[in-house]
Structures are given as structure tokens and as C-alpha cells.
């Protein structure tokens, strides 16, 4: 028996060895390189991930896992909620990639509040809280999804991964779902990021496409905020969207964040704020997260910190502003494509039209079949054809009898009678035949014909039918889906201007070191600064340099002046006297430093060896002082002292040589008299597009401002506030009036008193305080109708028609005559006892014409200019090119000693003359 058992095993082993030998010998000629295998397998894997995992299809805007979740929910749909765990299990019949990926994808769909009707804790997109476990939460398809996503008759089907079932290739979505939800996916060598858009705006844009009208489509985010879409680039790669949180000042030392940027949550936002505070970029006292249904993050500031500057710093250094780079990629015809959102919407709109056409044609075919059989049934019963089959003994005979009986009556039918039709007629029960009502049958056929006619009309006017479909969807589901993200233009925030002073700048003048890491015992404190500031350094040898602040930097020995430098600063003017070479004349100049190359050394002198600075001052507001110059005694020198007034010298470029002070050797220069600013009042503009102040001429000119001037702002809420003219100021969203404040100019206001249910007029002077003031009553129904600072405020008042009375004519009211200027807190005078329909401000020119007032010449707003002032400083670098020629000319004029030449030429303005020079015409400077 043992031998019998062993024999088969030995035979099997021998067979296996023979097969292996045969295989080895046959494969010797088919050598496959590893690189080839890698290339083939990598492409297969990459194609699979792109097509089957990460990138949405253009037809329905869904990734495979999303499509399978929706199909599974439709399969389970019975109108009731289903446990998410059960839905995940059912979806795994179609998606063999684990329950975690299905669950996460389902939560993401649910949080977008469009396709799924969720119940339970599905997480919070505002706070970043995760959803509860799948066994605790429930879901069903939303009514919107049931209306627009599914139709088994227009769906293309394919076998599931194990061929045990069928799944849709794409769902017949009749809506731009991809653009509504947005999507993000990372594949192999490819990524897509499409931003969500507004539900109602997508429908409006689709209608515009069908009407061949232009449209603009921009993203909209659930989290709200404000966004700058100026570089959106239609969602194509290379574009950029800047999104900001909504930050407002609630009290003098507190801010509140009420909306957050897309892609962030309150937890991550607070973390970024705390990190910025720890790094010294911003200064905050405390931060509280009171978010529930709406975002509310309270930020409390320490004393001495500017709220406006902190808001800019939050945008510059935290996630209160984020940049998003869209990259709209889709799958079309089994290939990845990169299309703009405009093109995607056009494709989606055309697909919706085609699907509606397909549905109409399918319905028309069904109605035609229904009409056909109803007509056959009526013929069959009314003509008693069923009696012709009583004598037939075979099935063939019965069918033939029915055909013969129907033949005379089928000419008007849409198609020929088939065996299936006959079989259906033979299946009619006697009970139905006995109760057949010819009138009701005619009514049914007429209703079917009417419906077919209506469908034919829709098919003939398919565009109008599609437009009506979109309008119906908007009316049914568009409520509560208004735009949440405000479209704005953002100015670029210079981080160095808003960073708080988180470190200290020190200098070792003799050794030539500057930085924030120098030992306090060996260094001199300069100023508080931030660790991203630039610093400007002037040395005694006439050299200048701008460098980035660091722990310790060598900038050259014998440092004369060091300070924090701001790019584009035209207000800081440097006054300088230097000696040109070891024996050359003393020269003087005034200049600003607005732009430089960092770490490059600049020579402020004429370039002669051994030049040195004799006097230097930095003036933050363009001050021009008077200095006393003392000369070294020498024979025949008449005067050893004289005064120099820098205000008589024009501001020129940094590289200008300057004007000659004296050819004698200067012993000492000391300050005699502090200077005043030679720069005039500063022109300020308000740019309404970004709601910021500027000095570059963008927007509306508010006026020329001096240090003590203020800006008046009035809000629609009935509040006003006086603010400074700092360009970092932030203004409220409901700003309706902004202008330079004139303390003697009254404001006129018309408002509705919610308590008294009447309109009131008041005129008042604005008090000088930096607190926000409310000038209407504080009732919840009180509202501001009109506010005007015009010298002639005139309003037109129209009235509602009262029952039983004639319609009252519109009244024109001059508010100056209606009420005198009263106190700020005065209630005002009642506007009218009649029912008001509308109140409008009358334009000044029209008001003058109505009241018969002639125009008076207006005074222009002119920026004050002082000789050598801002007009010269507007471009400090201007004049640098011709500075050498100008300086040489000035030197020649100064050096001329021939009396006849001097007599024939009056002294030039701005020219400094040494009192010891032998000239007939002298200008006394002392």
C-alpha cells in the first residue's frame, strides 16, 4: 500500500520539474528590463488614481467614491434616515477601498449642505470639530438630490468591480454640481482644486449662457469672509485668490472676528494668532473663542496698541488672510483636462439641456406607447373583437383573429400592431371589458395627446424649457443660499509697517556694529523695532547703508546715525553739511532716502578722498533748522561765525553734490534754532474699492491734512466717528459719508424714530472726540434715511396715497430753513405728519436751481507748499543726474570774485554765501 501511495507523488514531482524546465527554456528569449516594468506599472497606477480616485468627472462633477455613495443612498432610499454605518457597508459593494475613505467622503458631502439630509453630529466646518462615529449619525438624500441627480432611464450603467452588481458610469446631474460643491484632489503627478461657487449665481450664469449673455462667475465660501478675485484667472492654474477674515473693532481695545477664510477653522486661526503673538509679530492681551452657530473670536489688546494696525498685522502674519491657488482639472472622455470654470459651466449647462431633451423624448415615447395601446384597447372593446376569438381553438388562430379584427381600424395608429400588443389585448379581463367607458377612454387619449403636444412644444423650444427648469430649481431651493463671501479688492499690506516692535535696536558706534543681539553694557540703545525691519546707517566718512536688522551686523566704524528705515518714506528729510576732501569746501544738502539696494554702500559726499560729515540731522517731518557755523581762524578772515538756515535750501536727490557753504575750514557747526516742517499739509485720498486711505491719488480727494486735522466718518447705522488720517485706518462696511472734518460745519440728518413711528430732522455740530457716537434714537426700529454735510441740504419727500384723499404732491424741503443747528443729542423736528413713501437728497445744483440760488466761486483745495518743501521732495531722486552740473555751476558762482560780474548778477535764491568772501553784493545771514 505504501508503494501505491508514493508513486503518484513521485510522478507529480517529475511533471512539475519538466514544466519548470520547459518554462525556463521558453522565457530565455523574453528578457524584460526592470525600467520597462516600472514604467508600465507606474503609468497603470497613475492612470488608475487619476481616473478612479482623485479627479472628478466633468459630466456629474463627482469623484468615484462620491458617485458610489449617492448611488448607494438611492438604492437604499425609502424616505427614511439610514445609519451612516449601514450606508458605508452598502457602498462597499461598489467601492473596494475601505470604510474610512467612504465615511470621510460622506461627511464632506454632508457638510456642504446640498445633496444630503443629515441628522446627528456631522461636525462643524467653523470650529473644525469632527463628526460623530458612523453608528451614531444618520443620512438620507436631500430633496434637491432626488430632483436633479437621479434618473435611471438616462443613466449609463457599468458592472461593479466584482461584476455582482451595476453602478452608474456617471450620474445624470442636471445642475453644475462640480462648481457648486468645489473639489480638491491629489493624484499621481496631477492635482485639482476647484473652489465652490454660489448656488443662485450658478443658476443665473447658466441662464445667461442659454441667452447668450455675458456673465461673471466668482467663488463663494460657506465660511463667509471677504475675497479678492482680481487674479482668479477663471480658476485655471496660475491664478490666486486672497481670502480674509471679517475683523471689526468692538471697543477701544478689543476686536472681534465674525467670519473666517475658506479652508481655515477657528481652532487653526487662533493657533496662528497665538504663534504670531509668541513670535512678537503682534501684541494681544487675551483671545476667546465664543463660536457656536456663528463665528465669534474676541481679541483683547493691551494698552498702547493700535486696533487698526493690529488688524493689518493679523492679515499680514496670521491665517486671517490666506491665498488659494485654484487648479480646475476634470476627467473628460477618460482623460484629464484643465478647463476654466466658464468652460466647465458651459459644458454643464449644455449637458443639462441635453439631459432634459433626453427625458422629454423618453417621456414622449412612453406617452406614444400609452396612446397606442389605449387606442388599440378602445378598438378591441368597442368593436367587440374579443368575440371573434370565441370559436378559435388554437393560439395561432386567436392571434390571427385579433389581427384581422383590428386591421380595418389601425390606419391612424403611430406604428404597426405587434404580437406583444395582441398578447396585452388578450390579457384584458372580462371585468374590465364589461365596465369599459368609451367616454373616459376618449378623455384619457385626449389627455395623452395634450401632453404629447406640450412635450413637442418643449422640444421645439428647448432653450426656453431649460431656462424655466433652472428658474424652477432656483425658486424651489435657492432661498437661504445668498452669497456669503464679500467681493472686494485688497491693498497689499507692507509687513514692516504693521509689525509690532518686538525687539530693541542697539549700536556700537566706534566699533561699527548694529543689531538687536548686542550686549546692553557695551552698546547704546537706539529704538524699539521689529525683527523684520530695515535699518539705515550713516557714518562720519559720508557713507550710508540700509540693511536688514539682525542679531549683530558690521556696517563700518564711526557710526553717526542709525534708525529704522521705511521704504518710500518721503517725509523724513536729512540735513547734511560735509567737507569735500581734506582741504575742499564745506557743502550742504537736503535729501530723502526713498529707495535703495539693500546692503549697498552709498557715498553722500562728492566722492573726494578723506571727505567727512561736519553736521547731520534726521527730520521725520521735513524740519529745517538754523545752525551756527564756526570757522577756523586764519589771517584776513573777517568773520569766524555765521548762521545757515536749511529752509532756504531745496530738497534734492540723495546723490546731489549740494551747495557750497564756505571754502574756509570749518571748526564747528552747532544747532542754533530748532526747525519747523517745510513740508506742507498732506493730501489724502479715499479709495472706495478697498475702503482705505492713501497718498498716491487713488479715489476721492478728502483734502490737505495737517497734524491736528481729522476725518469724519458716518455709518448707515446712525453712528459717526472722528479718526486720524493714518493710511492704516480701517473703516466699517456700512460707511456712507467720509470727509475732512470741519468743526464749524453742521451735519443734517433725516431719520426714522422706531418708538414714535415718525421721521425727524436734526442739524448739529460734530463733537471733537475719538469715541463712536450715535446721533439717532437707539430703538431697534430706528434707521437713518439721509445724512448730508452740504452747505445747502435739500430733500424731496414723496407721500403715500391716503384712503379717500387725493395724492399729495412731493415736497421740497430746505433743511437749513426747516431747523436750526441744535445740540448733538437733540431729537430734532418732526418732518411731516403725513405718511411718507420716500425721502431723497436733492443734488446741490438742482437744489440751487429750485431755490433760485446763484453759484458762488469755489475755493480750490491746494496743498500748502513752502520753498524747499514737498514739491521738491516729491521725487527726491530727481535732480541726481544733473546734480554734478548744477553743483559745479553753484560752485563757480560762489567762487567768482570779480566785482563787475557780481554787480551785474543778483544773488540767487537758495544760494549760500560765505560772509568772508570778497564780494560787493552780500546777503546777510546773521
Sheet of strand 794-799, all strands in order from the earlier edge strand to the far edge: 811-814, 794-799, 836-841
Catalytic annotation, pick one of 38, 45, 48, 136: 136
> Distance from CA of residue 695 to its chain's centroid?
24
- Whole-angstrom CA distances from 321 to 241, 690, 841 are 10, 15, 39
Please report which residue ranges of 94-232 form alpha helices under DSSP H: 99-111, 143-148, 177-181, 199-210
Which residues are CB-contacts of 810 (< 8 A; sequence separation ≥ 6)? 796, 797, 798, 799
Q: Which residues, including other chains, have CB under 8 Å from residue 180's CB and lie 6 or more apart?
A: 61, 114, 196, 197, 199, 202
Is 136 an annotated catalytic residue? yes
* 12 φ/ψ sector (left φ>0, alpha ψ -120 to 50, else beta): alpha
The residues, any chain, with a CB within 8 Å of residue 490's CB and separated by 6 or more, are: 226, 228, 242, 244, 321, 690
Residue 157 three-state SS: strand
If you write DSSP's letter for every residue of 648-706 in order, what string do you get? GS--B-TT---EEEESSPEEEEEEEEEEEE-S-PEEEEEETTTTEEESS--SEEEEEE-
Beta-strand relationship, 166-170 and 156-159:
antiparallel
Cβ neighbours around 290 below 10 Å, total = 11
Within a 13 Å sphere around the CA of 765, how many CA atoms are in the beta-carbon half? Answer: 8
Q: From CA 902, how far away is CA 224, in angstroms rounded?
A: 74
Cα 37 from Cα 261, distance rounded (Å): 46
Burial 788-807 (b: 16+ CB within 10 A, else e): bbbebbbbbbebeeeeeeee
Phi, psi of 669 (to 5 degrees): -130, 125
| DSSP letter string, 598-619 | TT--EE-S---TT-EEEEEEEE
Residue 246's Cα: distance from chain center in Å? 11
Rounded CA-CA distance 470/891 in Å is: 81
Catalytic sites, residue numbers: 136
Amino acid at each position: 500500500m505504501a508503494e501505491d501511495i508514493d508513486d503518484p507523488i513521485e510522478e507529480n514531482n517529475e511533471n512539475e520539474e519538466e514544466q519548470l524546465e520547459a518554462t525556463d527554456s521558453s522565457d530565455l528569449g523574453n528578457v524584460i528590463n526592470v525600467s520597462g516594468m516600472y514604467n508600465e506599472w507606474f503609468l497603470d497606477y497613475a492612470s488608475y488614481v487619476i481616473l478612479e480616485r482623485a479627479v472628478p468627472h466633468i459630466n456629474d462633477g463627482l469623484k468615484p467614491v462620491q458617485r458610489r455613495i449617492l448611488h448607494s443612498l438611492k438604492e437604499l432610499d425609502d424616505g427614511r434616515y439610514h445609519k451612516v454605518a449601514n450606508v458605508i457597508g452598502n457602498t462597499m459593494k461598489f467601492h473596494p477601498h475601505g470604510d474610512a475613505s467612504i465615511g470621510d467622503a460622506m461627511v464632506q458631502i454632508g457638510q456642504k449642505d446640498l445633496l444630503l439630509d443629515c441628522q446627528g453630529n456631522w461636525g462643524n466646518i467653523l470650529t473644525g470639530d469632527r463628526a460623530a462615529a458612523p453608528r451614531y449619525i444618520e443620512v438620507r438624500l436631500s430633496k434637491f438630490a432626488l430632483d436633479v441627480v437621479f434618473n435611471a432611464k438616462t443613466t449609463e450603467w457599468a458592472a461593479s468591480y466584482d461584476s455582482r452588481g451595476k453602478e452608474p458610469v456617471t450620474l445624470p446631474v442636471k445642475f453644475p454640481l462640480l462648481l457648486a460643491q468645489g473639489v480638491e484632489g491629489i493624484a499621481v503627478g496631477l492635482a485639482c482644486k476647484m473652489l465652490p461657487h454660489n448656488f443662485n449665481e450658478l443658476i443665473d450664469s447658466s441662464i445667461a449662457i442659454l441667452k447668450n449673455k455675458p456673465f461673471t462667475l466668482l467663488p463663494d465660501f460657506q465660511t463667509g469672509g471677504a475675497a479678492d478675485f482680481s487674479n482668479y484667472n477663471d480658476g485655471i492654474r496660475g491664478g490666486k485668490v486672497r481670502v480674509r477674515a471679517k475683523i471689526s473693532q468692538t471697543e477701544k481695545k478689543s476686536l472681534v472676528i465674525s467670519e473666517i477664510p475658506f479652508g481655515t477653522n477657528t481652532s487653526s486661526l487662533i493657533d496662528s494668532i497665538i504663534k504670531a503673538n509668541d513670535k512678537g509679530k503682534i501684541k494681544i492681551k487675551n483671545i476667546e473663542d465664543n463660536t457656536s452657530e456663528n463665528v465669534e473670536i474676541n481679541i483683547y489688546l493691551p494698552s498702547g496698541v493700535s486696533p487698526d494696525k493690529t488688524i493689518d498685522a493679523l492679515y499680514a502674519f496670521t491665517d486671517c488672510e490666506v491665498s488659494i491657488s485654484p487648479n480646475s482639472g476634470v476627467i473628460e472622455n477618460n482623460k484629464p483636462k484643465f478647463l476654466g470654470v466658464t468652460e466647465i459651466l458651459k459644458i454643464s449647462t449644455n449637458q443639462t439641456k441635453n439631459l432634459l431633451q433626453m427625458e422629454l423624448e423618453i417621456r414622449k415615447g412612453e406617452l406614444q406607447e400609452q396612446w397606442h395601446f389605449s387606442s388599440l384597447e378602445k378598438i378591441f372593446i368597442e368593436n367587440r373583437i374579443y368575440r371573434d376569438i370565441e370559436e378559435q381553438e388554437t393560439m395561432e388562430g386567436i392571434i390571427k383573429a385579433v389581427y384581422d379584427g383590428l386591421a380595418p381600424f389601425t390606419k391612424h395608429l403611430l406604428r404597426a400592431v405587434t404580437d406583444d400588443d395582441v398578447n396585452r389585448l388578450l390579457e384584458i379581463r372580462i371585468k374590465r371589458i364589461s365596465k369599459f367607458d368609451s367616454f373616459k377612454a376618449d378623455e384619457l387619449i385626449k389627455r395623452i395627446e395634450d401632453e404629447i403636444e406640450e412635450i413637442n412644444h418643449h422640444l421645439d423650444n428647448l432653450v426656453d424649457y431649460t431656462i424655466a427648469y433652472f428658474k424652477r430649481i432656483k425658486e424651489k431651493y435657492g432661498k437661504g443660499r445668498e452669497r456669503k463671501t464679500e467681493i472686494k479688492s485688497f491693498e497689499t499690506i507692507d509687513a514692516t509697517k504693521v509689525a509690532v516692535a518686538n525687539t530693541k535696536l542697539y549700536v556700537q558706534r566706534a566699533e561699527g556694529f548694529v543689531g538687536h543681539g548686542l550686549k546692553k553694557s557695551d552698546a547704546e540703545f537706539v529704538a524699539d523695532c521689529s525683527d523684520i525691519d530695515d535699518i539705515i546707517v550713516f557714518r562720519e566718512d559720508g557713507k550710508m547703508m540700509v540693511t536688514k536688522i539682525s542679531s549683530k551686523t558690521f556696517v563700518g566704524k564711526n557710526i553717526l546715525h542709525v534708525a529704522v528705515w521705511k521704504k518710500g518714506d518721503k517725509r523724513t528729510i536729512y540735513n547734511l553739511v560735509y567737507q569735500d576732501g581734506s582741504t575742499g569746501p564745506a557743502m550742504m544738502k537736503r535729501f530723502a532716502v526713498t529707495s535703495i539696494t539693500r546692503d549697498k554702500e552709498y557715498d553722500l559726499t562728492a566722492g573726494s578722498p578723506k571727505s567727512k560729515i561736519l553736521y547731520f540731522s534726521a527730520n521725520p517731518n521735513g524740519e529745517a533748522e538754523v545752525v551756527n557755523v564756526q570757522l577756523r581762524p586764519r589771517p584776513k578772515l573777517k568773520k569766524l561765525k555765521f548762521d545757515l538756515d536749511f529752509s532756504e535750501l531745496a530738497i534734492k536727490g540723495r546723490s546731489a553734490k549740494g551747495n557750497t557753504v564756505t571754502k574756509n575750514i570749518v571748526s564747528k557747526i552747532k544747532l542754533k534754532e530748532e526747525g519747523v516742517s517745510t513740508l506742507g499739509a498732506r493730501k489724502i485720498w479715499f479709495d472706495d474699492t478697498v475702503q482705505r486711505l492713501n497718498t498716491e491719488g487713488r479715489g476721492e480727494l478728502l483734502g490737505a491734512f495737517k497734524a491736528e486735522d481729522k476725518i469724519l466718518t458716518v455709518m448707515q447705522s446712525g453712528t459717526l466717528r472722528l479718526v486720524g488720517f493714518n493710511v492704516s485706518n480701517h473703516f466699517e462696511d456700512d460707511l456712507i459719508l467720509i470727509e475732512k472734518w470741519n468743526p464749524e460745519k453742521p451735519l443734517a440728518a433725516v431719520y426714522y424714530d422706531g418708538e414714535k413711528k415718525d421721521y425727524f430732522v436734526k442739524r448739529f455740530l460734530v463733537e471733537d472726540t475719538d469715541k463712536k457716537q450715535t446721533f439717532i434714537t437707539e430703538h431697534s426700529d430706528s434707521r437713518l434715511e439721509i445724512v448730508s454735510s452740504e452747505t445747502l441740504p435739500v430733500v424731496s419727500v414723496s407721500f403715500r396715497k391716503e384712503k379717500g384723499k387725493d395724492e399729495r404732491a412731493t415736497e421740497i424741503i430746505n433743511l437749513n430753513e426747516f431747523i436750526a443747528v441744535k445740540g448733538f443729542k437733540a431729537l430734532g423736528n418732526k418732518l411731516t405728519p403725513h405718511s411718507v413713501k420716500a425721502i431723497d437728497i436733492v443734488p446741490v445744483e438742482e437744489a440751487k436751481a429750485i431755490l433760485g440760488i446763484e453759484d458762488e466761486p469755489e475755493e480750490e483745495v491746494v496743498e500748502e507748499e513752502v520753498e524747499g518743501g514737498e514739491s521738491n521732495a516729491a521725487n527726491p531722486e530727481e535732480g541726481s543726474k544733473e546734480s554734478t552740473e548744477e553743483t559745479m555751476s553753484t560752485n563757480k558762482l560762489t567762487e567768482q570774485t570779480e566785482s563787475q560780474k557780481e554787480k551785474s548778477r543778483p544773488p540767487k535764491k537758495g544760494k549760500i554765501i560765505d560772509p568772508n568772501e570778497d564780494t560787493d553784493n552780500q546777503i546777510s545771514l546773521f
